[in-house]
Structure 1
Amino acid sequence: MRFLFILLLSFICLSCTYSKNNRKDLAEYVPENALAVIKSSNLDGLKNSIKNNSFLFEVSKSFNYLSLEEKLENINYLNPKGEVLICLFKDENDSLQYSLITKFNSEIFKSDSLPNYTEETLTFKTKSITKSKIKNNISYSALIDSTFYISSSQKAVEKAFLKNSYKIPNAYNSLDKDSPFSVYLNSNYLNNETVFFADSLSLKNFSSYYATDIDVTQDAILINGITTVKDSTKSLINVFKNTIPQENQIKNIAPSNCDGFLSLTFDSFNTFNENLKKHKQTDTLQITTLFQDVIEVGVIYEDNNRSIVLNSTDVIATGDALISSRNKKNEFREVEIYEFNTPQIFENTFSPFILTKNTTLYCILDNFFVFSNNIETLQNIIASYQNKTTLATTTYYKYTEAKLSKASSLLQIVNATSLKSILNKNENDATNFNLNKYEANGLQFVYDNNFAHLHAVIQKQKNKVQENSITELLNIKLDKAILTQPQFVKNHITNQKEIIVQDINNNLYLISNKGKILWKKTLKGPILGKVEQIDIYKNGRLQLTFSTPNRIYVIDRNGNDVGPFPLKFNDDITQPLSVFDYDKKKDYRLLVTQGKNILMYNTQGKIVNGFNFTKANDNIIAQPKHFRIGRKDYIAFKTKNKLYILDRRGKTRVTPKVQETYSNNSLYLYKNNFTTTTTSGNLYSVDAKGNVTEQPLNLNENHFIDASSKTLVTLSENLLTIKNKTTELDFGEYTTCKFFYLNDKIYISVTDLQAHKIYLFDSQSKLLKNFPVYGNSSIDLDNIDSNKNLEFVTKGESNSIIVYQLN
């Protein structure tokens, strides 16, 4: 199994028994022959990130990936909590095996509902091992102290019982404990797997151990970590020992249409040369004055052609070293092209980095000396340099460069074609990967004291945004169909927005504005209405609060319940949780509706003394709301035929002089009146003295309304009215109209579920440019990131969330 596809997994299986051991750190259970360890603090988030990343989606088509996914299928039935290690290793038959290591929890595996599941108990030196079979996949598991260990290899489980002297190398300890996804790689157990364009370079001969933290978003993979060596002379990375990395400059001469480049830098060629000599174990390295003032050497890739570039600090001295090769061959745009009579010097000096032998031409461009075997290639480099159309000028290279260190010992940049070629080197069978927008992917090593920093970027080029256009930023797929309308919530650390949504299995997800699933939490029932945010400790840290039919939840931003919540109820909660903060002092009141009854709680989960409302005349049909007019507070709600307007203590503050038969629409404070609609389609308003005004709006029975203090919006069949201006929409199945006030502008949205179209209007009832767009739910509209553009979130396919940006 090839390395690149070993890291791109899917996940894992189940069952357990008990044994006693003193090991506490999960790393102590890692098999000695593990070639890769995938560490995750959020396995569900990792799986969904892999599923939603466009690059990994392409990789998932490969034969190697599919084979690995099939082997790991049993892991999908596990429910680990906390840190998980997935170890990949070869058995004595050179077959790839896996082990998963995590702390045991009572819900880690439930076999009750699994089809075609069988198990038996095996014995190893008085210890019990469970052999499990799901469909045709067999796994072996045991509980060792408080650690759950499961593997495709029985022998691996048996060895896990035995505490041996093996200690995982120190590189592993550099991994970030809080990273959702990290990879440790022991290249000593690899074959010829590579991430380099050059066939002569492999992970195994380059360094021994790689430890990286990996950030996976929808369109990018960012890798940061270190690499260390086992044998200082055998690993190629050590040729940079005792040298200082320089700023990579080949970007300034590599044409924007090339396939990529490799850049090596050092402050002293002599030191680098001596290190390379030790690595090759030879005394016959060629010494030449050509490289004495060179601080960077590299290769530009263009189809099958290779151009070698020297970046010199002393152009005159380097030029003098070429005095014997000044036979002019050609001229292009006033740049002279010379013959080069010792082309083998580059392979002799810089192999295995450079194996090019036939660079028989060269030219000089400022401080760059460029050698090639093809005159057209040199002409392309000259033209690009003069026209300033090099890689360094492109937006996609700048975007990649921003995520890398400025100076590095080794830097490789490859475009989509080269990236595909590298992937296919690691494949048993070539796969036709579609990587057209991956224009600048970077791999970088920065040598330090006996180790090197490692950085890599694999990212998709974003389309150029046009003014007034609508861009699809994210399309996030979940494991199950979506139950609730996705909405934005505030991240109190960044002051940006994240997404909260629930699936049909009642799993609640918090998703970053980059599309990363931060956590998944199983709830006892579906969420009623909107998720609210409160600051329960009055310290600026926000919690999520909401109700399900039998619970009130308060959850922190890490997905943990905040005590004493959740509160449990025997009778059903029938309306969304109402959250009141009367004086804006964060003394929250949580109002729970149960049929005819209303209960008020504080943030300690206690009933609020002094709120004495007993019972409504019938079931409450809309979520209770809090309004303030002047210095007075009002709590308003309604049944089918009675509107209640109370004070803080639950006593009647306003009695409408006329009651009506009310629609199920919410209550609003519109023009300082308590406003709703009747079943007959009239606008019903009550002032603070109880005076009633009814205005015929000719709304049908199943109409919708939304309102602010000055703006009323109604939707009746296909007629959308905003401030008395009516727009006739196509006939369809519409969601409620929604009102947004952002950046001193009014926006009104509505979605046709039948035609899968989202409409967004301004306050003048004018449809915004480029609408309607695709969607299958109401939207939430806000500014979710650091730029000025607004974004909105909606449901896409049954199990996907779409985030659009208004440009």
Structure 2
Amino acid sequence: MGKFQAKLFTLLLFVPIVLGIFGSCDKTPPKTGTLMDFVPQNTSMVFKISDFENLQADIENNSLLSKFEKTTPYLFFSENKILLKNLHPTSQSLFCINTINDSVSAYTFISKQTKNLFLPDSLKNKTIETLKLDDQSFQRITIDKQIAYSAIIDSVFVVSSSQQILLDILKGKTERGDTFKKVFNLPSSNEFTALIRGNKVAINDSTKVAFTSWSALDVAITPESFTATGITLATDSIPQLLNVFENQIPQQNDVSALVPTDALGAVSFTFNDAEKFQKNLRVFRGEKEAVQTTGIFGSVSEAGSIQFNNETAIFIKSIDAALTNDALARFVSAKSEFREIEISTFSEPELFQKTFSPFINSKKANYVFQVENFFVFTETEITAQQIISDFQINNTLKNTSYFKNTATDLSTASSLLIFKLQGDFSESISGFFNAKSGDAIKNISFEEFPLAALQFSFDRNFAHVTLSCKEAGGSSKSVSGTVSEKFNLKLDNAVLGNPQIFDNQNNGSNVVVQDVANKLYFISESGKILWTKNLGAPILGTIESVNISGNRHLAFATKDAFYLFDRNGKEAKGFPIKFKDNVTQPLSVFDYDNNFNYRFVIVQGKDVLMYDKTGKTVKGFGFNKAKSNIVQSPVHIRMGNKDYIVIAEESGKLNILSRVGKSRISVSKNFNFSEIPIAEEDNTFVVITKENTKERISQEGKISSQKLDVGSNYWFAINGNVKVTLDDNLLRINGKLTELPLGLYSKPYIFSINRNNYITITETQEKKVYVFDKNGDLLNGFPIYGTSAAGLGEGNGKNAKNIVVKGDVDRVILYSSN
């Protein structure tokens, strides 16, 4: 019970700590004849407790409150534990805290007198004395040198650690303010309600301002969470910040979509009438002259700040970005571009502090950029780049599982929303304890509580309040899908084509990419350029990864050569093979029996050249020349125990050959071949023509045609048991339809990683990269930023994947996802 009492006191302090609310005084007379009659004057907190035993169990099992065992409040209660553990209320009781000075607090317990409420006869080492002072009679109880004072008044039992407080109660000096009575008498079915005198709220780490008068919160405690909901009241007699939201309709809070997951906190406030809101703030600050904002905030509905370790960023969210841009134009000068987003200097760095103080106190809004409807102002260009990067890869609070868990407690729209992240409570909490407790608090780790949220929604002359602090659990501190940026590398020149992942088996994966100067880069997972090669011409198609003598090699062709490099950039013996005539199709690689006995196929117009892994011409392949130009890279297809080599000609002829190049199936029909490679589906050869006709050829040469009801941007891909089609913005994966946002999409690609299949597709206008699994489900954390088709490969760790894309025109980005 003593341990419980210590946790109870911690709880009593924890509620106002997270709210940042306490202190104030309200004085008025009469009497109601209820427990409320005996609440001490100037009390800081009153707790209405319906079931003392249930509350005890809840608090002892709460992992957050259990962290405070070494703080002074525990010592305070342990000194009185014998008395407190012998209180057995059977009906509602009140527990009140009065702050005597910075290091001393006093408690008062109030309950209806019942037969077994307090049984001192069972106590050892006790002394009970009846005293009379100022014509008031009361008892002094001494147990093991610890003293408390009690009295029974009108069938109400009162015990306090302070003699003066008990005497004041006996003389009728109790809490009788009208606002207090309002919150005390609010109906509640909750077993535990906290009434908190609220004079100040911590808007940020450096600012605590007069906010409200009293709050009434229904507190819910589970082993993994601490939540509270209720209302808070302000008065008009003194300036209180809550009143600046008068006549403002709470708007939607979207800041969670902007806050990086490594931020320490964020503040969001909303308004529907910027002019009235600014006027209310000036009245609160006692100012007469208006700050000239040239209409910047006329189309803004949400504003606030994001706190980092050494910097504060400011944001505004516009309902009409064009209007806000126009209003900002005279204050900005373009400075640089990062990931196709312009970062400009801002000439009025103190504007937000002058306009929105005390909500915003930063005077260093030096840079500005826009992402969607957010305009973000930062102290440094580096912070601007980091926020842009995190936003584009969805590495933001909104995408975390712990935010989604907390969001179930919050309203989508509110007047004021305060986030504390990274379990960064210690500095804020330590100030509410005396000096002895400070170090104990600072040494407490709150990492398993990555988010605390406090929300106020103004409604007439009061506000709804929600507080939520939940334990995250094992792996939920990372971004949903755990997408993270591994590197963002600037090349010497603009990127050419699509970057690729090159898997090195046990050596991890690398990135291979070519620039417009035809330089080939081989890059480590950490972004280090391991080697480069000047090729003299663009690579045709994709680079193939092949296993030569147990080591991975890069195989590809340019218009005049066939290259084979090992992972150290060394050319394989016999390579490169140079050609006088132009190579006209990307390299084809066949591995008939999956035994690394490769056949490499080069196409030069009508001619077909086949090489082995030593660079020698394969003898005995009978198909050396087509009758017309070959329009696709030759394809190897295996059906049952038969191998087929398929070659499509410009004339429309389809050659289906055996391994040795002899005709294996005679095809009687000519086709108008599109760019979609010929594939195998249900033991038939599939040709998608330029007219969007699907032609099926059986192994007996029978042909069936199906006119596809699709648009011009159609693509068909199949790999084993995974089939993907794209019709404009309609993506189907194994029959499951996903209607993507309207846009311009790259062709979908299928990748096989650790026996799992994934599909990538990029919207090139909005620069969003999507990754789906074979069931057609979008992976958590996607879409992410990218301007090209994405390459996938194995990452470090179980189920880890690396994703490579082009970023800005000369940049390559590698992401990691679990």
**TM-score interval (norm. to shorter):** 0.5 to 0.7
5 Å-filtered alignment, 1:385-404, equals 385-404=391-410
| 2:255 paired residue among 236, 250, 255 | 250
- The size of the alignment, in residue pairs, is 448
Shift in alpha-carbon separation, 1:267–1:119, aligned structure 2, 3 A: same
Question: Residues 105 and 456 from structure 1, CA distance in 2 versus in 1: closer, same or farther, beyond 3 angstroms?
Answer: same
Give 1:123 deviation, angstroms. 2.3
Please say if 1:213 is aligned against 2:215: no
> Match of 1:7, SS?
helix
- Decide whether aligned partners of structure 1 residues 464 and 93 sit closer, same or farther in structure 2, where only a CA change above 3 A counts: closer
Aligned counterpart for 1:290 among listed residues 296, 301, 304: 296
- Shift in Å at residue 398 of structure 1? 0.8
Per-residue CA deviation, residues 609-636 of structure 1 (Å, 9 max, x unaligned), is xxxxxxxxxxxxxxxxxxxxxxxxxxxx
Equivalent residue number for residue 172 of structure 1: 183
The alpha carbon displacement at 1:285 in A equals 3.5
Aligned to 1:184: 195
Please tell me whether the aligned partners of residues 175 and 182 of structure 1 are also in contact (alpha carbons under 8 angstroms). Answer: no
Tell me if 1:441 matches 2:452.
yes
Contact 1:171 1:209 in 2 (8 A): no
1:82 alignment partner in structure 2: 91
Matching residue of 2:510: none
Partner SS state of residue 271, structure 1: helix
Alignment of 1:488-499 (within 5 A): none
Aligned partner of residue 462 in structure 1, secondary structure? coil
Aligned counterpart, 2:312:
306
Q: How does 1:438-477 map to 2 (within 5 A)?
A: 438-463=449-474
1:224-239 superposed matches below 5 A: 224-231=229-236, 233-239=238-244
How many angstroms apart in 1 are the aligned matches of 2:74 and 2:186?
A: 25
Q: Does 1:159 align with 2:168?
A: yes
For the residue of structure 2 that corresponds to 1:54, the secondary structure is: coil
Q: Residues of 1 paired with 2:292 and 2:9: CA distance? A: 38
Query: 2:120 aligned with 1:111, yes or no?
Result: yes
> Hey, what does 1:407 align to over in structure 2?
413
Shift, 1:196, TM fit: 4.3
Q: Which residue of 2 aligns with 1:341?
A: 347
Residue 27 (1) aligns with residue 51 (2): no
Structure 2 residue aligned with 1:100, among 105, 109, 124?
109
Secondary structure of the residue that 1:436 maps to in structure 2? coil
Could you say if the C-alpha distance between residues 395 and 90 of structure 1 is closer, same or farther in structure 2, counting changes exceeding 3 Å? closer
Taking the aligned partners of 1:63 and 1:252, their CA distance within structure 2 comes to 39
State whether residues 263 and 410 of structure 1, in contact with CA within 8 Å, keep that contact through their aligned partners in structure 2.
yes
**Structure 2-normalised TM-score?**
0.52
Kindly tell me: are residues 60 and 325 of structure 1, through their superposed partners in 2, closer, same or farther at Cα, counting changes over 3 Å? Answer: same
* CA distances 1:290-321 after superposition (whole Å, capped 9, x unpaired): 11111100111121211101001111111111
The residue number in structure 1 matching 2:265 is 260
Asked if residue 37 in structure 1 is aligned to residue 46 in structure 2, the reply is: yes
In structure 2, the partner of 1:323 is 329
CA separation in 2, counterparts of 1:316 and 1:329? Answer: 20
CA–CA distance in 2 between the matches of 1:70 and 1:318? 60
Q: How far 1:402 sits from its partner (Å)?
A: 0.8
Q: Secondary structure at the match of 1:363?
A: strand
Moved more, 432-441 or 55-64: 55-64
Contact 2:423 2:451 in 1 (8 A): no
Question: 1:303/1:9 Cα in 2 relative to 1: closer, same or farther (>3 Å)?
Answer: closer
Q: Is it true that 1:55 corresponds to 2:61 in the alignment?
A: no
| Alignment CA distance shift 1:343-1:92 (3 Å) | closer
Q: Which residue of 2 aligns with 1:280?
A: 285
Q: What does 1:515-526 align with in structure 2 at a 5 Å threshold?
A: none
Q: Is the 8 A contact 2:94 2:109 kept in 1?
A: yes
Could you say if the C-alpha distance between residues 172 and 60 of structure 1 is closer, same or farther in structure 2, counting changes exceeding 3 Å? farther
Q: Secondary structure at the match of 1:119?
A: strand
2:338 aligns with 332
Amino acid at match of 2:452: N
Give the AA of the match of 1:387. I
C-alpha distance in 1, partners of 2:10/2:291?
39
Question: Does 2:148 align with 1:143?
Answer: no
The aligned counterpart of 1:350 is 356
CA contact (8 A) 1:325 1:340 kept: yes
The residue aligned with 1:197 is 204
The CA deviation string for residues 137-168 of structure 1, in whole angstroms up to 9 with x for no partner, is 11111111211111122233233334468524
- Paired letter, 2:359: F
In the alignment, residue 236 of structure 2 is paired with which amino acid? D
Structure 1 residues 294 and 56, CA, compared in 2 at 3 Å: closer, same or farther? Answer: same
Change (3 A) 1:35 1:356: same
| Whole-angstrom distance in 2 between the partners of 1:232 and 1:394 | 42
- In 2 relative to 1, CA 306–118 (structure 1 residues): closer, same or farther, beyond 3 Å? same
Q: Return the alpha-carbon distance in structure 2 between the equivalents of residues 413 and 197 of structure 1.
A: 10
Give 2:139's match in structure 1, choosing from 120, 130, 135: 130
Q: Which residue type is aligned with residue 412 of structure 2?
A: K
The 1-side partners of 2:68 and 2:292 are apart by 44
Aligned partners of 1:9, 1:338: CA distance in 2, in Å?
42
Distance 2:430 2:31 in 1: 44
Partners of 1:62 and 1:93 in 2: CA distance: 15
Residue of structure 2 in register with 1:378 after alignment: 384
Determine the structure 2 residue equivalent to 1:739: none
What is the letter of the counterpart of residue 413 of structure 1?
F
Q: Which runs of 5+ in 1 are unaligned?
A: 11-20, 466-807
Whole-angstrom CA distance in 2 between matches of 1:426 and 1:458: 18
Corresponding letter in the other structure for 1:114: L
Judge which range, 429-438 or 99-108, deviates more: 429-438
Deviations along 1:232-271, one digit per CA (max 9) or x if unpaired, are: 5511111111100001011111112222211000111111
Identify which range, 158-167 or 239-248, moves more after superposition: 158-167
| Paired letter, 2:79 | E
2:224 pairs with 1:223: no
Structure 1 residues 72 and 195: alpha-carbon distance in aligned structure 2, compared to 1, 3 A threshold: farther
CA apart distance, 1:68: 5.0
Counterpart CA distance in 1 for 2:288 and 2:157 is 53
User: Which has the greater radius of gyration?
Assistant: 2
The percent identity for this pair of structures is 32
Aligned counterpart, 1:524: none
Query: Does the alignment pair 1:367 with 2:373?
Result: yes
Distance 1:162 1:297, change over 3 A: same
Instruction: Give 3-state SS (helix, strand or coil) of 2:95's partner.
Output: strand
Preserved CA contact (<8 Å) 1:411 1:442 = yes
Opposite residue 44 of structure 2, the aligned amino acid is L
Deviates more, 1:171-180 or 1:452-461: 171-180
Contact 1:294–1:311 (Cα < 8 Å) also in 2: yes
Question: Which residue identity lines up with residue 449 of structure 1 in the other structure?
Answer: R
Q: Offset of 1:201 from its aligned partner?
A: 2.2
**Counterpart contact for 1:175–1:213, Cα < 8 Å:** no
Q: Deviations over 1:310-352 (max 9, x none)?
A: 0011111111111123322221111110001110001111111
Contact 1:171/1:211 (<8 A) preserved: no
Are 1:6 and 1:68, in contact at CA under 8 Å, matched by a contact in 2?
no
* C-alpha separation in 1, matches of 2:113 and 2:278: 53
SS in structure 1 of the partner of residue 65 of structure 2: helix
Q: What is the CA–CA distance in structure 2 between the aligned matches of 1:313 and 1:80, rounded to whole Å?
A: 55
Residue 275 of structure 2: aligned partner: 270
